[in-house]
Amino acid sequence: MTLLLWILGGVVLVTAILIYCVAPGKMSPEAEKSAKHFFGLNCAHRGLHTKDQKIPENSIASFIAARDAGYGIELDIQISKDGQVIVFHDDNLKRACGVDTSAKDLSWSELSELSLFGTDEKIPLLADALDAIDDAPIVVELKPIGSNYAEFCQKTLDILREKGKFWCIESFDPRICRWFRKNAPDVLRGQLSCPPSKFFLISKFNAFILGHLLTNFISRPHYLAYRANTHPITIKLCRLFKPMTAVWTVRPEHDIEFFEKYNDIVIFEYYNPPAKFK
């Protein structure tokens, strides 16, 4: 009997620790107000770009196309060598611009000369993208950038407060979400994640921690944005708290109705759904 009690006590303790680690945060009234603009919304991944990149991802043209179709917009931002907040996804410029170097190693004047996928479209500044997006709801993903993330977060926040209308932020980096939790608790914030096997360029330990949302106690995100995969048990545990949820990136080959049923935001690409699904 004593051994059984120890086992049960251990199970209860582990469960309590897991609950503490993965629980989401409570939305402020301002965050709740922002969330209403995103509930049931289809958001175009990196703008309404085409698979052949004739309308390039993360371009002004893709944002205008998404805005005109009534979609929300998801985009990626990082920071240039001289501290400008730019809209660009990859760590390396090779795939999109044919230049084998990192965006963070070039100045804005150098980056502004590059073409996206051989088109006339250029890498935008976040401020210019916001001007083009106008009043379309926007999901802003802050890319992990290393130790100077606080400067990145502050610059992003300043630009979004000045020019943005309906927006929220998300990141794979829990330090970024924690920064917004501490410095801008009114901002709707989301924790991006995916199964540990889908993480690249990080250790297996870090992939396990991030893929199971075991850093939520640091950032207490308002919503969960998880890859369109089977969810580990810790993700299911987090969902028991009924946080707002987003799924990425839904494509035509996926079970679209399933993801619409079990999520509040669908981030999609390569098809044209209705603007709202709820």
Whether 21 is in a domain gets the answer: no
Report yes or no on 8 lying in a domain: no
Residue 6 lies in a domain: no
Q: Rounded to an integer, what distance in angstroms lies between the CA atom of residue 167 and that of residue 144?
A: 19
Query: Considering the domain boundaries, does residue 253 fall inside one?
Result: yes
Token code pair at residue 267: 């981030």
In a domain, 13, yes or no: no
* Residue 50 in domain: yes
pLDDT tens digits for range 128-143: 999 999 999 999 999 9
Which residue range forms the structural domain that includes residue 69? 28-268
Report yes or no on 66 lying in a domain: yes
User: Could you read off the pLDDT of 192-239 as tens digits, one per residue?
Assistant: 999 999 998 899 999 999 999 999 999 999 999 999 988 899 999 999
pTM of the model: 0.95
CATH of the domain at 258: 3.20.20.190
Instruction: Count the domains in the chain.
Output: 1
**244-250 vs 265-268, strand pairing mode:** parallel
Q: Classify residue 19: in a domain, yes or no.
A: no
